[in-house]
Chains A and B, each alone.
Chain A
Amino acid sequence: MITLAGIHKAFGPNRVLRGVDLVVPRGQSMVIIGGSGTGKSVLLKCILGLVQPDTGTITVDGQDATTAARDAFLARFGMLFQGGALFDSLPVWQNVAFRLLRGSLRRPKAEARDIAIEKLRRVGLKPETADLYPAELSGGMQKRVGLARAIAAEPEIIFFDEPTTGLDPIMAGVINELIREIVTEMGATAMTITHDMSSVRAIADRVAMLHGGVIQWTGPITEMDTTPDPYVQQFIHGRAEGPIEAVR
């Protein structure tokens, strides 16, 4: 279970997070929605220690994220980045098996390659893809490789940062389905940030809406459409009028 309590984070005068409280139950898929620039990515980065919160506590299964041994703590996580964040200088299979080629999870090279090819197959990519470089792949294929890398070491917790941004609707649907299947079959805890409502409906067990630096609403996906919360209603229906000010 991931627990965030009173998380504040400011960048200069810009107070991005102003007291975020959120609980992500173990084995559940939590999707955080909210407009661009509301601090969704910052929130994920705070949990991973990529950004230090100014105040507040983050615990994962009761363990304080800021004091935990970094390697062991990060070994529990996998992350799919918005742009894939694949390493240009490495072929696809070494990207996928990055964690298995070094550090505490190190495996023999042949075994790491076999696992990488198996994970590529799991995300619908052929073994021939393994020896290509990221620059030779389409955007959709890069997302799949990023997904294969995120699950390669079988993490307990997986983060997805805008998994369908920049993809056509069909490829977005494929990625959503893959995420849902993988999270279910691995029994992993998942946190996804997105403003793509089709992703939300395909991936989420629970939804949290981040606005104004705080969680405005959280609840099961089944209650998202019926909640009277005006922020959620405006966001999910894409209305220009409402409590969320649209910059024109």
Chain B
Amino acid sequence: MTLIFAPLRGIGRTTLAAFAAIGRIAIFAASAVSHILRPPFYPKEFVQAIFHIGYFSLPVVGMTALFTGGALALQIYSGGARFSAETVVPSIVAIGMVRELGPVLGGLMVAARVASSIAAEVGTMKVTEQIDALVTLSTHPMKYLTAPRVLAATLAVPVLVAVGDSIGIFGGYLVGVNRLGFNPATYLKNTRDFLEVWDIVSGLWKGAAFGFIVAVTGCYYGMNSGRGAQGVGRATKAAVVAASVLILATNYILTEVFFSA
């Protein structure tokens, strides 16, 4: 009997641990929001975080979007050719980029770059007692470390998504015009005509949610890092994994909310 129930117990334990972790992250996120809203504020740390999260992520998000837009154009063209629908390439590239691929791939790239760096930085601060030092200097770590990063990521990632969307559509345009033989003016007209404002706005909302998730998970795992280099390494890995999974799950939920009939 024990052998029969052992795998079930393992599944149960893992499921409960996952729910417990989500609960702890949710409480941490609520605390972060409350610290964002209440003074004191740290504008210098916020500006630094905006640069770190937003500006310095532009190259990786831009490159990802450029190649994704191009690949998307090729895929839609070859797939559409099966039922003589090659002309939908511009509109599907645009809609696919702004609704789905721009926010999701942008969010995942920021998760890889930013959640890891926040977790490593904050985790190192934890193990070298810098966070304890902050407390003894009458500075709340949630206010000084977490609040500026969470606010900055929530505001910066939608901007990154907007830039990524534009570059992705441009990537599709380059492939469409130079490789697939589309007329440039027609390609742009189709892109413009079939794209609605809500397509773009929904993607930006997703970007804000993903930015929030990235910064919260980075800070949470950093603040709860184990001891030593191994502890910081584990925290960094856990932050990236948790941020990526939460981004994909949140993306599905938001898509249901925004677009379900």
Contacts and interface: CB of A to CB of B under 8 A. Distances in A.
Interface of A: 45, 48-50, 70-71, 74-75, 77-79, 81-83, 85-88, 98-99, 102-105, 149
Given A102-B40, A103-B40, A85 B135 contact: no
Contacts of B125: 87
A98 to B, nearest CB: 5
B44 to A, nearest CB: 9
A153 to B, nearest CB: 9
Given A85-B128, A103-B40, A79 B138 contact: no
Contacts of A104: 138
Contacts of A45: 132
Contacts of B130: 85-88
A77 B40 CA distance: 21
B129 interface: yes
A145 B206 CA distance: 45
B47 interface: no
Contact of B135 (A48, A87, A88): A48
A75 B136 CA distance: 8
Contacts of A83: 128-129
Interface in B12-61: 40, 42
Given A74-B136, A85-B128, A102-B139, 17 more contacts: A48-B135, A49-B135, A50-B132, A50-B136, A79-B133, A79-B136, A81-B133, A85-B133, A88-B130, A98-B137, A98-B139, A99-B137, A99-B138, A102-B40, A103-B138, A105-B138, A149-B137
Contact of A77 (B42, B124, B129, B136): B136
6 closest cross-chain pairs (CB), A and B:
A85-B133, A85-B129, A79-B136, A74-B138, A81-B129, A71-B138
Contacts, number: 49
A102 B41 CA distance: 10
Contacts of A85: 128-130, 132-133
Q: How large is the interface on B (under 10, 10 to 19, 20 to 34, 35 or more residues)?
A: 10 to 19
28 contacts: A45-B132, A50-B132, A50-B136, A70-B138, A74-B135, A74-B136, A75-B138, A77-B136, A78-B136, A81-B129, A81-B132, A83-B128, A85-B129, A85-B130, A85-B132, A85-B133, A86-B133, A87-B125, A87-B130, A87-B133, A88-B130, A98-B137, A98-B139, A99-B137, A99-B138, A102-B40, A103-B138, A104-B138
Contacts of A78: 136
A94 to B, nearest CB: 10
A143 to B, nearest CB: 13
Q: Which of A49, A75, A87 lies at the interface centre, i.e. has the most chain B CB atoms within 10 A of its CB?
A: A87
A70 B40 CA distance: 14
Nearest to A104: B138
A87 B122 CA distance: 11
Contacts of A77: 136
Contacts of B40: 102-103
Nearest to B135: A50
A77 B138 CA distance: 10
B220 to A, nearest CB: 19
A50 B130 CA distance: 12
Contacts of B128: 83, 85
A75 B135 CA distance: 10
Nearest to B136: A79
A98 B136 CA distance: 11
B231 to A, nearest CB: 15
A74 B193 CA distance: 62
Nearest to A155: B136
B104 to A, nearest CB: 31
Contacts of B139: 98, 102-103
A47 to B, nearest CB: 11
A70 B42 CA distance: 19
Nearest to B129: A85
B138 to A, nearest CB: 5
Nearest to B42: A102
